[in-house]
Amino acid sequence: MSSNTLTVRVGGDSAAGGIVTTGEVFARIAAYAGLEVYTTRTIPAEIKGGHVMFQMRIAPTQVWSQGDELDMLVAFDQESIDRYFAMVRSGGILVYNSNDSKPSMPDGITQYALPLNELAKGINFQRGRNIITIGALVKLFGLSFETATDVVERQLGRKKELLDQNLLALKTGYEYVEQNITQTAPYHLQARAGATKEERLVLSGNQALSVGAIAAGCRFFAGYPITPASDIMEFLAAELPRVGGTMIQAEDEMAALAMVLGAAYGGARAMTSTSGPGLALMQELIGHAAMTELPVVIVDVQRAGPSTGMPTKVTQGDLRMSVFGTNDDAPHIVLAPVSVEDNFYQIIHAFNLAEKYQVPVIFLSDQDMSVRMQTIPAFDLSRVKLEPRLLWDPDGGEKYQRYKDTPNGVSPMSLPGMKGGQYVAEGLEHNAEGEPNYDLEWRTTNMEKRARKVRLAVQEVEALKLYERFGDPDAEICILGWGSTIGPVMEAVERAQAEGIKVAVLYIKMIYPLHHALIEEFIAKRKAIIVPELNYVGQLARMIQAEFWREVISLRKFGGTPFKTREVYDEIMRVHAELKKSAKKPVAKKVTAKKGAPQKKARR
């Protein structure tokens, strides 16, 4: 067992219930004990039944990926043992339900049997198997039983009638290990000095995004339930009314965005959230927002497709649709956060950019980042600055022209009720007053006006630091990426650096429009450019090749799970070896990572 990090996977059938609860509650116990946690999960798309996996990585210091090998497998059934036992490293452990499974006895893996069915029956609480397991894990890891009790009360205390049973189940699991397995914890992670006194949050990406939207001044949300974005709608349904906001569940995604456009027309900061199939339905109204120059934010929590696809699996497959999906060059902005914490700050930037440039902003999260729980620092509210919308002055003495051509393309906007500020937000091409007009002169003027705003928005990349850059500035090998793949990349680069291999990294957060000067400067002298993505064709990689006329190494994984650190590290090592063989020729071979290490190839 590593003394610095611990990777635990919990597996079981969703029909039995409580698999995700087991992982989430135990992760929070570890976090409240001063440890850092990072989780990932896969759940079935079916309403009931199907295999569930929850994985957590726990360490005294910040971790950025799910981990590679398993230090511990917690198996509620035989299927979980059959699926994951081979992933447990030598020296690791298996904790299993001895009433429902029977593992083999290989060398090098310690096995702890928990008769979960019998223990639950003994306290007359059949639903409590998962809480019994949590109690057992608390003892096995030497964590505080008092902290565990506090977390269970916080997390499960809303159902008062079950709280006493849950606390009894927790105690039952703890005492079973103490009395029947070991009194001394076989595994123990020591928190950093002072860690328990630091203010830390344990949030998912969807939660961080939702809190950020409220901080950004969002006061209207309309949406339609769709996995994995539904958490955002549910969070805002509870919280928006507390700040004077409104949440509406629409009849479909098109209606949701239409409502958001109406709210923006009325002066509200407004947002919707969806996933790939919903974003596809919204394309016409995104074009309408661009034509009418209405500031709206559209969150796309990407999931594996096409179509309904795999609603509970991750992808980065909506980049092309987000950038190129609108009809006839409808100007818009596309942002992508890189972490749970970054969701908070980037959604604030999304609202500010929408308001400042009066354009729709598409915000690309993904399934893994949206449901992942992670310990993060308390949000720095001093960084929250709200960009005001440019409003028309009714007392300025001029006739109101909603679409007046201006040097930066942004026209003052009137709000309903402003004297003399009436106009129609028409989807047809129009003149400065908003009246339909099909003359070539107006068409040309307006197309250039709308495009000008998006061109100017590029300056915000430097002003707001909409990128992450780290590694060795003079490295021959570089990684250019976007979104949630940054975590495994960070850890892979650290491993490579420890072996004397230099790697430079740039992660862009404004995907459209691209900051050409920043990217050009970064890739100019590199001999190899690796672009890791969770999609089949390498969507950003092809954009970079087309825009900059540079061949890149497209590292792709599209099976529905995030990158492992090992997969990125192996590719860095492969590229390094190729460069050593041929110092003159840049490496341009494409690779595909499917189920394991990369292979060498170019719910609603």
CATH number, domain at 372? Answer: 3.40.50.970
Q: How many domains does the chain have?
A: 4
pLDDT digit string (tens) for 208-262? Answer: 999 999 999 999 999 999 999 999 999 999 999 999 999 999 999 999 999 999 9
- What is the spatial distance between Cα 454 and Cα 486, in angstroms, rounded to a whole number? 26
179 in the same domain as 40:
yes
Is residue 58 assigned to a domain?
Answer: yes
- What is the spatial distance between Cα 20 and Cα 23, in angstroms, rounded to a whole number? 5
* pLDDT value for 212: 98
Q: What strands lie across the sheet with 360-366, from one edge to the other?
A: 246-249, 220-223, 270-274, 296-302, 360-366, 333-335, 510-512
Angle at 500 between CA 495 and CA 503, to 5 degrees: 70
533 in the same domain as 416:
no
Closest CA to 252 of 296, 222, 290: 222
Angle at 14 between CA 9 and CA 16, to 5 degrees: 105
Where does 513-572 show beta strands of DSSP type E?
A: 528-533, 553-557
413 in the same domain as 338:
no
- What is the spatial distance between Cα 189 and Cα 26, in angstroms, rounded to a whole number? 14
122 in the same domain as 24:
yes
Is residue 101 assigned to a domain?
Answer: yes
pTM for the model: 0.93
Is residue 462 assigned to a domain?
Answer: no
* pLDDT value for 2: 43
Is residue 165 assigned to a domain?
Answer: yes
Q: What is the largest CA-CA distance in the chain?
A: 87
* pLDDT value for 1: 42
Closest CA to 132 of 123, 141, 99, 100: 123
Is residue 72 assigned to a domain?
Answer: yes
290 in the same domain as 185:
no
* pLDDT value for 103: 87
- What is the spatial distance between Cα 497 and Cα 504, in angstroms, rounded to a whole number? 10
- What is the spatial distance between Cα 39 and Cα 89, in angstroms, rounded to a whole number? 19
- What is the spatial distance between Cα 367 and Cα 42, in angstroms, rounded to a whole number? 10
60 in the same domain as 146:
yes
Exposure string of 187-225, with b = 16+ CB inside 10 Å and e = fewer, is bebebeeebeeeebbbbbbbbbbbbbbbbbbbbbbbbbe
359 in the same domain as 405:
no
Cα-flanking dihedrals φ and ψ of residue 447, to 5°? -60, -45
Is residue 601 assigned to a domain?
Answer: no
Cα-flanking dihedrals φ and ψ of residue 93, to 5°? -135, 155
- Which helix (H) or strand (E) segment holds residue 261: the answer is helix 253-265
264 in the same domain as 295:
yes
| Domain hosting residue 51, numbered range | 6-195
- What is the spatial distance between Cα 347 and Cα 211, in angstroms, rounded to a whole number? 9
Is residue 95 a contact partner of residue 72, using CB atoms and an 8 Å limit?
Answer: yes
* pLDDT value for 599: 43
209 in the same domain as 187:
no
* pLDDT value for 583: 74
pLDDT digit string (tens) for 576-600? Answer: 999 999 876 655 555 565 554 444 4
Is residue 332 a contact partner of residue 361, using CB atoms and an 8 Å limit?
Answer: yes
Is residue 344 assigned to a domain?
Answer: yes
374 in the same domain as 231:
yes
Q: Phi-psi region for residue 432, left (φ > 0), alpha (ψ -120 to 50) or beta?
A: alpha
Domain boundary, last residue among 457, 487, 514: 457
pLDDT digit string (tens) for 420-435? Answer: 999 999 899 999 999 9
Is residue 598 assigned to a domain?
Answer: no
- Which helix (H) or strand (E) segment holds residue 247: the answer is strand 246-249
Tokens of 443: 């068409």
- What is the spatial distance between Cα 262 and Cα 121, in angstroms, rounded to a whole number? 56
- What CA dihedral angle connects 114, 116, 117 and 119, to 10 degrees? 100
502 in the same domain as 439:
no
pLDDT digit string (tens) for 322-339? Answer: 999 999 999 999 999 999
- Please name the residues in contact with 174: beta carbons below 8 A apart, sequence gap of 6 or more: 135, 136, 138, 139, 145, 148
State which residues of the chain have pLDDT below 50.
1-2, 596-604
135 in the same domain as 155:
yes
